[in-house]
Structure 1
Amino acid sequence: MSIFNLSNAIMGSGILGLAYAMANTGIILFVILLILIALLSAYSIHLLLKTAGVVGIRAYEQLGYRAFGPPGKILAACIITLHNIGGKIKHFTTAFTIPIMAFAFVCHPEVLPIYTELKTPNKTRMQNVANISILAMFVMYLLTAIFGYLTFYGNVKSELLEMYSKKDTLMLCVRLAVLIAVTLTVPVVLFPIRRAVLQLLFPDKPFHWVRHISIAVCLLFLVNLLVIFVPNIRDIFGFIGATSAPSLIFILPGIFYICIVPEEQEPLKSRPKIQALVFVTLGFIFMIMSITFIMIEWVTGKKTSGGH
């Protein structure tokens, strides 16, 4: 069940844009990038679990608090909220090619809650859950992208299902399956957003069903309002995604690891901490690249990726 939940957290309807991404990168580069991102995501989860294990914390925002105090907690909560709201909106809109490719395995805010729910929670078991989930999504992503691309080649659109007839019974079943998958993703994605809001607004309040449900309803209502009434919401949250996703995957896990794991256990110049520092640097590079591509597209109105 944990594997299903984490896989569900990883997968969104962004999977429908992977064939378009492959059309813009080519098959070989796409496969290389997908493998690279899968491996980096697994390593990121390793850092997150090791850091959480050192201090016994099972919440992303609390790691921020442990590393930097209240500002760290607020920063982590805000990034989680923005990223997941952006991710939920992305389920209803066309996504940018670069974020689709670079951040296909974002599930980090959900890792620690799922870790807590394991019958016998330990780092090795949760890492195995993460590895299996990432592998399963890797295979699904790759098959979807390859068959979608080989069906339409350079004519593939950013939303794959738009290429098929709306009267085809089989494709109607596929659309229904995607709808069910996205619907099942909502509770998993909503959980860290609601927790982040609670951490920001009601940090010392005990659990209450009215507050719990009210926050969920308000968040869903807000997302739907934004989708309906803000026509350029894709651009706004494409930019937010380009900053929040690398923060959640690369920057924060690496920084948490460096700051929280005591020097007595791992000195600052030790190999694991140097690797974490390189990982953080890579995150900033991803962020700068993504923001640059998006801004170029805004200014020129042209896609920055080359077609094949």
Structure 2
Amino acid sequence: MAQQQLSSEEGTVLLQSVKAQGPLAGVRRSSINSASFNFINSIIGSGIIGLPYALNQAGLPFGLLLLIVVGFITDYTIILLIKGGNLSGTNSYQALVQSTFGLPGFLTLSALQFLYPFIAMISYNITTGDTLTKVFLRIPGVGPGHIFAERHFVILVITVVFTLPLSLYRNIERLGKVSFLSMVLTLTVLIVVIIRAATLGPAIPPTEHAWAFAKINAIQAVAVMSFAFICHHNSFLIYGSLQEQTLSNWSRVTHVSVGSALVFSAAFAVAGYATFTGYTLGDIFENYCRDDNLVTFGRFCFGLSIITTFPLECFVTREVLSNAMCNRDLSRVEHVAITLLIVAVCTAISIAYDCLGVVLELNGALSAIPLIFILPSACYLKLSPRRWYHFHNLIPSVLLGLGIIFMITGLTMTGLFPQDCSHGVEMFYCTDANSSSTVAP
């Protein structure tokens, strides 16, 4: 990832205020490995299953290039964000933007920082309901109409038994081992997708222009990719959990986390798109056949991975609400009450709506692009003692302009050309008499 150097005047000051005053002060700290696991887990969520569709929108070569660029920009702006906190003496994304742009900036950032993880949790529930119902359908005696095949029931049970208890933790460090498990599960899913690219892909004829260099919907692809990579909203939270809070340690965490997520994401996106080409849907698991036992195992692993990712987003959502409401540490009762409210509203919306692809595109353009491209760059440029056109400020200036263009264009194209939601529809090649010999493990 792009290594960023502090200027001479910036390099003399580390983020000691964050170390002493952060929201996790006085609690057990994370090692670099634990922080990296949490960070990777926060990046690789439900957005990864939309990346093959992003390549379908942008074209495989150009889409892969865009994915790499978004990864580099993510790495660059995460460190830029912490450098902005250094310059302003602040210890959270909200405090940084408030210090830089006052109350209007604080309100804007609070809305975006709440909106992204909140919608992400909705997408996690949708993914859980979609994937695990198909897993349960493979259990003998469970068929259409059975209670375990109802996504509403599955989402409710998973929420009560798993995601809510994990979300009630007050210390993010306790999720480090859970995040490592999530990484292992995601790697397992990647292996399943690669195997099916080799075994199922040759049986599905590629669509017209399947291997075109670029396609017209590339901007929408950027929105999906931004959704998949966004982790800025919990950067200060994870930074504050480090045992030794130095910029060099944070850079190591950032490079390892974003680099690992980029490798996972690129492999997943290419393997998924190469299997289905133009037939690739917003949720890649909707492309696979229901009677595919290997993919059923992959669905189970991914569903479990999503369950362990949900609490990380809940941490951020709860912190944004607590900062906006009272700007102090929550009491035990307040902590439980706000967590219950957040989880309950997310669950209700995810039960009522089930089109994952539109959720990914909308959240990417509306929330992720401003949080990745626009706000970190704008804050740094405002705090920098140099002019915006100075050599050291050239990259932030370019990212600010690109972010505005991508956001406006992405929202416009998502509204004008929304993708079809084919939730629950069995694909044509699954009904082919010859497909069974190919799909069966």
Which TM-score tier does this pair reach, normalised by the shorter chain? 0.7 to 0.9
Query: Which protein has the bigger helix share?
Result: 1
Counterpart residue number, 1:5: 38
Counterpart residue number, 1:37: 70
TM-score calculated relative to the size of structure 2? 0.62
Q: Any idea what the Cα deviations from partners look like across 1:83-110, whole Å, max 9, x if unmatched? A: 111222223269x755223443100011
Query: 2:120 & 2:75 partners in 1: Cα distance?
Result: 20
Counterpart residue number, 2:343: 220
Structure possessing the higher radius of gyration over alpha carbons = 2
Q: Any idea what the Cα deviations from partners look like across 1:30-71, whole Å, max 9, x if unmatched? A: 211011111111111121011112233221111111112233
Distance 1:209 1:235, change over 3 A: same
User: Does the aligned pair in 2 maintain the 1:12–1:182 contact within 8 Å?
Assistant: yes
Query: 1:297 & 1:186 partners in 2: Cα distance?
Result: 29
Amino acid at match of 1:6: F
Counterpart of 2:56 (choices 5, 23, 27) is: 23
Amino acid at match of 1:257: Y
Counterpart residue number, 2:270: 146
Query: 1:99 & 1:217 partners in 2: Cα distance?
Result: 30
Counterpart of 1:211 (choices 323, 327, 334) is: 334
Counterpart residue number, 1:121: 245
Q: Give secondary structure in 2 for the equivalent of 1:104.
A: helix
Distance 1:232 1:214, change over 3 A: same
Is residue 66 of structure 1 aligned with residue 112 of structure 2? no
Query: 2:362 & 2:352 partners in 1: Cα distance?
Result: 18
Once the two structures are overlaid, the 10-residue window that deviates more, 162-171 or 247-256, is 162-171
Question: Cα distance, 1:24 vs. partner?
Answer: 3.0
Counterpart residue number, 1:306: none
Query: 2:66 & 2:413 partners in 1: Cα distance?
Result: 17
Query: 2:296 & 2:363 partners in 1: Cα distance?
Result: 32
Amino acid at match of 1:160: I
Counterpart of 2:408 (choices 267, 277, 288) is: 288
Amino acid at match of 1:215: I
Query: 1:196 & 1:7 partners in 2: Cα distance?
Result: 21
Counterpart residue number, 2:378: 255
Query: 1:175 & 1:230 partners in 2: Cα distance?
Result: 20
Is residue 110 of structure 1 aligned with residue 110 of structure 2? no
Counterpart residue number, 1:271: 391
Is residue 199 of structure 1 aligned with residue 323 of structure 2? yes
Q: Give secondary structure in 2 for the equivalent of 1:167.
A: coil
Query: 2:36 & 2:329 partners in 1: Cα distance?
Result: 30
Question: Cα distance, 1:237 vs. partner?
Answer: 7.3
Amino acid at match of 1:129: V
Query: 2:357 & 2:260 partners in 1: Cα distance?
Result: 28
Query: 1:187 & 1:250 partners in 2: Cα distance?
Result: 25
Query: 1:272 & 1:200 partners in 2: Cα distance?
Result: 34
Amino acid at match of 1:255: A
Q: How does 1:72-91 map to 2 (within 5 A)?
A: 72-91=105-124
User: Does the aligned pair in 1 maintain the 2:58–2:221 contact within 8 Å?
Assistant: no
Once the two structures are overlaid, the 10-residue window that deviates more, 156-165 or 140-149, is 156-165
User: Does the aligned pair in 2 maintain the 1:84–1:193 contact within 8 Å?
Assistant: yes
- Unpaired segments ≥5 residues, structure 1: 303-308
Question: Cα distance, 1:25 vs. partner?
Answer: 2.5
Query: 1:49 & 1:218 partners in 2: Cα distance?
Result: 30
User: Does the aligned pair in 2 maintain the 1:51–1:256 contact within 8 Å?
Assistant: yes
Counterpart residue number, 1:158: 282
Q: Any idea what the Cα deviations from partners look like across 1:104-159, whole Å, max 9, x if unmatched? A: 31000111111111111111211221111111111111111222222223223222
